[in-house]
Amino acid sequence: MAITTTVPRDLDAVVGAPMSYWRTVGWRLARDRVTLIAGGVLLLVALSAVLAPWLAPYDPNAGSIRLRLAPVGAPGHVLGTDEQGRDMLTRLLWGGRMTLIAGLTPVLVAFVIGTALGVVAGYIGGVTNTLVMRTMDIFYAFPAVLLAIAISGALGPGLPNTLISLSIVFIPRVVRVAESATVQVKGLEYIGAARASGSGVGDIVRHHLLANVLGPILVFASTQVSLSIILAAGLSFLGLGVTPPAAEWGLMLNTLRQSIYVNAVVPALPGLAIFVTSMAFNLLSDGLRDAMEIRA
Amino acid sequence: MRATPLLRARDLRKHFPLRGGVLQRTYAWVRAVDGVSFDVYPGETLGVVGESGCGKSTLARLILRLIEPDAGTLHFGDEDVAAASPGRMKRLRRDMQLVFQDPYASLNPRLTIEDAVGFSLLVHGTPRAQARDRARALLSRVGLEPRLYGRRYPHELSGGQRQRVNIARALVLDPKLLVLDEPVSALDKSVQAQVLNLLTDLKVERSLTYVFISHDLNVIEYVSDRVLVMYLGEVVETGTADELAQSPKHPYTQALFASAPSLDPDHRMERPPISGDPPNPIDPPSGCRFRTRCAFAMPRCAETPPASRAVGATHAVACYLYESGAVVDARVTTSPIV
């Protein structure tokens, strides 16, 4: 029985080329309103952080004792002033820089190191796997906050140390996801088929393995950004992160908390900023996961 | 028989360790393939049949050296496959290809099908444009118009279409031997027929040699010249497809053929000719491995495993019933195997 596909003569005119994978992802994202809004919010936050020196109406560290704890809407200070009389809008804009750096950098570092470790452990297996994964389990055994506090406490306060300690918190999580994805993909028959046709380890890892595990790891990492923002804010809150007088949302929350009975709205503003930003990251990663899914 | 065999396997053995505990110590071995010998002659189709878990797929992976044998030798032409250096092995892999069972797991979801087919060529140093042209030509040969399907992803195709892609991918390196591991088991009957016919045509067209693994006797009978019957990692009977269909010797082969459903209502079975699951390959029965399910088991069956002996020019069986030379047809002497 011969198998033939009847092909219309003007085939190329009838069907365009099928959409490439990334175009499909873009097409899906363009139809997902929640993800678009979350992305828009993040873009605004990022832009305002980058452009803070030009957007901010005042010097972030210059206060005026006479204008302490001005309420929202006070003349000249749209979002009021903090306990030292510094303009809140200015400090929120500048604080966004620190918060975004503290949220993104550790996750990025953990994504690179964690993926490498997880893929190596998963692909090689055996003793290597046991060594890597059990070491990660030791870190994983501590609650994230406790581990971050312990490492920051040992290293001392300051932004670089915060970034190091948060990276260490996130590496084991990424390794776990990367390892389990690698082990799962490694067992699939198309890896065997690639080996059977003579592909070397490099080709297999690059074209067959990474192409299929990077997506899930990236989505997982993006969910961790919001946690990193909150942890960084928490470290600053405890005095282990960014040091005063620098503006950082968590630190601002800490210094303003004593004023909450004087003026309840102004101290809530940095908290609101943290909430909105981390929420937007979570929604964005949810949307990315849905859009990047390969539907069978 | 005919010329020199294309593939010659002697006493192939693969035992998988079962590890457990903190120290990952081996506490048992699964005897997946235990002393299997066979020849494959150029241009023939060797069918390998047996229940699931009898070591058929392990055998396929041993032939391709996707896993290393624990013992035994495997020669492809003059080349010792097990001893080949990585460089030689890469060359050898062009001559032997594998078509997998699961049409869903065997294609990379991130590669378009023309890239999936052309990938092996790139690995072997073919320029990109040329690899794409070869891939498109093969896709069109297996019945997938490259302009319609070439840039599609596997999840956009049906099971039968994916299996065609798998066949195209296996053929793109112009192999001499194709090992087909249950290539149609996951497909509907009608699609099975299409794929089997495609395989038959391709075999003639490209003078291929097939090792065709299946649990489906109808399929095996249809495609094979010679058949290898496996039970728990061992070969119990070999012969031409006709010999096995018309006069199966080993009680297991008889049971297999008796249990194949018949289309004739007058030949419906009253009770199944064989029942239960095969014993655990971790701890197989002593002597003949089939004795625990065999109606003709004798005391000596438990002692030493029966050696394979010839019962015809091309027919051999490993069973004590045929030892004395006085060939008994077990089917007519007593009731069917329970």
Amino acid at A29: L
Residue by residue, pLDDT tens for chain B (338 residues) are 457 888 888 888 888 888 777 667 778 888 888 888 888 999 899 999 988 878 888 888 888 888 888 888 888 888 888 888 888 888 888 888 888 888 888 888 888 888 888 888 888 888 888 888 889 999 988 888 888 888 888 888 888 888 889 999 988 888 999 999 888 888 888 888 888 999 999 999 888 999 999 988 888 888 899 999 988 888 888 988 888 888 888 888 888 887 776 666 666 655 556 667 777 778 788 888 888 888 788 888 888 888 888 888 888 888 888 876 544 444 444 444 44
Chain B residues whose CB is inside 8 A of the A200 CB are: 123
- Distance (Å) from the alpha carbon of B124 to chain A's nearest alpha carbon: 8
Decide if A173 contacts A115 (C-beta within 8 A).
no
- Distance (Å) from the alpha carbon of A18 to chain B's nearest alpha carbon: 6
Q: Do B193 and A1 touch (CB under 8 A)?
A: yes
Q: Do A296 and B104 touch (CB under 8 A)?
A: yes
Q: Give this complex's ipTM.
A: 0.75
Indicate whether A130 belongs to any domain.
Answer: yes
With vertex at residue A187, the alpha carbon angle to CA B278 and CA B27, rounded to the nearest 5 degrees, is 50
Q: Do B108 and A7 touch (CB under 8 A)?
A: no
DSSP state of A64: -
Average pLDDT, chain A: 82
Chain B residues whose CB is inside 8 A of the A20 CB are: 151
Closest chain A residue to B121, measured at CA = A197
Indicate whether A49 belongs to any domain.
Answer: yes
In this prediction, residue A106 carries a pLDDT of 92
Indicate whether A256 belongs to any domain.
Answer: yes
Indicate whether A108 belongs to any domain.
Answer: yes
Q: Do B110 and A212 touch (CB under 8 A)?
A: yes
Cβ-nearest to B123 among A190, A192, A198: A198
Chain A residues whose CB is inside 8 A of the B180 CB are: none
In this prediction, residue A115 carries a pLDDT of 92
E strands present in B125-225: 177-181, 209-214
Closest chain A residue to B64, measured at CA = A196
pLDDT band at A296 (very low <50, low <70, confident <90, very high): very low
Q: Which helix (H) or strand (E) segment is B267 a member of? A: none
Chain A residues whose CB is inside 8 A of the B193 CB are: 1
Q: Do B120 and A198 touch (CB under 8 A)?
A: yes
Chain B residues whose CB is inside 8 A of the A17 CB are: 151
In this prediction, residue B243 carries a pLDDT of 86
User: Which whole number is the average pLDDT over A150-169?
Assistant: 88
Closest chain A residue to B154, measured at CA = A296
Place of tokens 């892609």: B165
Select from B110, B149, B196, B200 the residue whose CB has the most chain A CBs within 10 Å, as the one to mutate to test that interface.
B110
In this prediction, residue A5 carries a pLDDT of 59
pLDDT band at A114 (very low <50, low <70, confident <90, very high): very high
Residue pairs between chains A and B whose CB atoms are closer than 8 Å: 102
Q: Do A190 and B108 touch (CB under 8 A)?
A: yes
Cβ-nearest to B100 among A11, A189, A207: A189
- Distance (Å) from the alpha carbon of A151 to chain B's nearest alpha carbon: 29
Q: Which residues contact A53 (CB under 8 A, 6 or more apart)?
A: none
Closest chain A residue to B156, measured at CA = A296
Cβ-nearest to A193 among B106, B145, B197: B106
- Distance (Å) from the alpha carbon of B236 to chain A's nearest alpha carbon: 28
CA neighbor of B329 nearest in space, from B337, B321, B320 = B321
Q: Please give the C-alpha separations between residue B287 and each of B57, B283, B290, B302, B305, in angstroms, as whole numbers.
A: 24, 12, 9, 4, 4
In this prediction, residue A8 carries a pLDDT of 58
Q: Which residue has the higher pLDDT, A83 or A93?
A: A93
- Distance (Å) from the alpha carbon of B257 to chain A's nearest alpha carbon: 27
The Cα A144–Cα B106 span in angstroms is: 39
Closest chain A residue to B99, measured at CA = A193
Q: Which residue has the higher pLDDT, A51 or A66?
A: A51
The Cα B334–Cα A85 span in angstroms is: 104
Select from B57, B58, B123 the residue whose CB has the most chain A CBs within 10 Å, as the one to mutate to test that interface.
B123
The Cα B145–Cα A139 span in angstroms is: 53
- Distance (Å) from the alpha carbon of A189 to chain B's nearest alpha carbon: 4
Question: How many domains, chain A?
Answer: 1
CATH number, domain with residue A169: 1.10.3720.10
Q: At what angle do helices B189-205 and B159-171 cross, to 10 degrees?
A: 20
Closest chain A residue to B151, measured at CA = A18
DSSP-derived 3-state class of residue B31: strand
Decide if B111 contacts B124 (C-beta within 8 A).
no
A181-216 pLDDT, tens digit per residue, is 999 888 888 888 888 887 888 888 888 888 888 888
The Cα B6–Cα B181 span in angstroms is: 18
Give me the percent of chain A exceeding a pLDDT of 70: 91
The CATH H-level (homologous superfamily) assignment of domain B7-333 is P-loop containing nucleotide triphosphate hydrolases (3.40.50.300)
Give me the percent of chain A exceeding a pLDDT of 90: 11
Chain A residues whose CB is inside 8 A of the B148 CB are: 5, 7, 11, 15
Q: Please give the C-alpha separations between residue A109 and each of A101, A133, A135, A141, in angstroms, as whole numbers.
A: 12, 18, 18, 21
Closest chain B residue to A14, measured at CA = B148
DSSP state of A204: I
Q: Is the dihedral of CA A57, A59, A62, A68 positive or negative?
A: positive
With vertex at residue B34, the alpha carbon angle to CA B31 and CA B35, rounded to the nearest 5 degrees, is 165
Indicate whether A268 belongs to any domain.
Answer: yes
Per-residue pLDDT at A162 exceeds 70: yes
Per-residue pLDDT at A26 exceeds 90: no
- Distance (Å) from the alpha carbon of B238 to chain A's nearest alpha carbon: 27
For chain B, say whether A40 makes contact (Cβ under 8 Å). Answer: no
Chain A residues whose CB is inside 8 A of the B107 CB are: 190
Q: Which residues form the domain of A157? A: 22-57+78-292
Q: Do B110 and A294 touch (CB under 8 A)?
A: yes
Residues 140-169 of A with CB under 8 A from B: none
Task: Give this prediction's pTM.
Answer: 0.77
Cβ-nearest to B66 among A3, A192, A211: A192
Q: Do B148 and A11 touch (CB under 8 A)?
A: yes
Chain B residues bordering chain A (beta-carbon distance below 8 Å): 24, 61, 64, 66, 89-90, 93-94, 96-98, 100-102, 104-111, 116, 119-120, 123-124, 142-145, 147-148, 151-153, 155-156, 166, 169, 173, 193-194, 197-198
